Amino acid sequence: MADNASTDGSAEMVRERFPDVTVVGHPENYGFGRAIEEAIRGVEADALVLLNNDVVCEPDFVERVVAPLERDEVGMVAGVLVQAAAPELIDSAGVELDATLRSWDYLWNRPVAELGPGTPAPLGPCGGAAAYRLDEFRRLGGFADALFAYWEDVELAIRFREAGWDCAFAHEARAEHRHGATLGATSPQQRRLDAFGRGFVLGRYAPLRRRATAAAFDAVLLARSRDREAIAGRRRGFLAGREAGEQRLQRTPIALPLREAVRRHVEVFRLGRRGALPQHFHD
């Protein structure tokens, strides 16, 4: 367990109630990716299973989420997060990209009952319920150092895909998710970090054509929010992405065409006007 200098007694509780669990405490909040890197330093295992601090797993979650890694072509596995307030609905079944390279929670708000063996896999897993081949996770450099939180799972999924790995979907590996329990659903810090991550992915992976399309959509969203922190975060993230090394996407699936991207961005705008914008739709 990685503990980012928590003050709520959770680390002490785990040590007391679960003595077999190793708690790796950090003197300060390292962010999601770095905390994971520090926690697994020196660990020898075939699989890395990640869970957020705001999820509660079903008893067989780990068994089900690592099973697809037995297939040679699979490098990462997406589990299913259900909504805490409505567990019959999906919160995230992984991540997918639209034509502007914006990420979306796969199958968000769809009934869990619709899932089955034939449900297609997403681009990659959501970091809150994921499994990776540990040796490949390390070979690819783990999570991007520039991403403190948000978008690190998306960016890593792109690198796995570009390296030739598939993502599998473990539709029966489920956990209940209380979205936004760490930073708040639409707190200023969450918005700033999300904007940085969006900019980072665009700066590193988007060709000029996609950048222009993304800029058109984002200009509307950012103008609506009038959030100077988000605007500045987007700019800083874009520059950081370019500094990390621009790459042309070859194997990464873009699941959502431009028409669907337009529809979803319009829905974001409508949700915002009603004050009902979920965390994962916020810029």
Sequence-distant (≥ 6) Cβ neighbours of residue 181 within 8 angstroms: 53, 54
Residue 94's nearest CA partner among 153, 145, 159 is 153
What pLDDT, on a 0 to 100 scale, did the predictor assign at position 184? 47
Alpha-carbon distances of 116 from 119, 169, 252, rounded to whole Å: 5, 10, 24
What pLDDT, on a 0 to 100 scale, did the predictor assign at position 174? 98
Q: Give the position of tokens 């928590």.
A: 6
pLDDT single digits (tens) 144-195: 999 999 999 999 999 999 999 999 999 999 999 986 545 445 577 888 899 9
What pLDDT, on a 0 to 100 scale, did the predictor assign at position 221? 66
Task: Look at residue 5 and tell me whether its pLDDT is greater than 80.
Answer: no
Q: Percentage of the chain with pLDDT > 90?
A: 58
DSSP characters over 25-36: E-SS---HHHHH
pLDDT band at 117 (very low <50, low <70, confident <90, very high): very high
- The residues spanned by each domain of the chain are 2-177, 188-281
pLDDT single digits (tens) 194-235: 999 999 999 999 988 888 888 877 776 666 556 677 888 889
Helix ranges, the chain (H)? 10-17, 32-39, 61-66, 134-139, 152-162, 188-205, 208-225, 228-244, 258-273
Task: Look at residue 4 and tell me whether its pLDDT is greater than 60.
Answer: yes
Pairing mode of beta strands 103-105, 24-25: unpaired
Is the CATH number of domain 2-177 3.90.550.60? Answer: yes
Task: Look at residue 280 and tell me whether its pLDDT is greater than 60.
Answer: no
Distance (Å, whole) CA 151 – CA 53: 17
Model pTM greater than 0.85?
yes
What pLDDT, on a 0 to 100 scale, did the predictor assign at position 232? 85
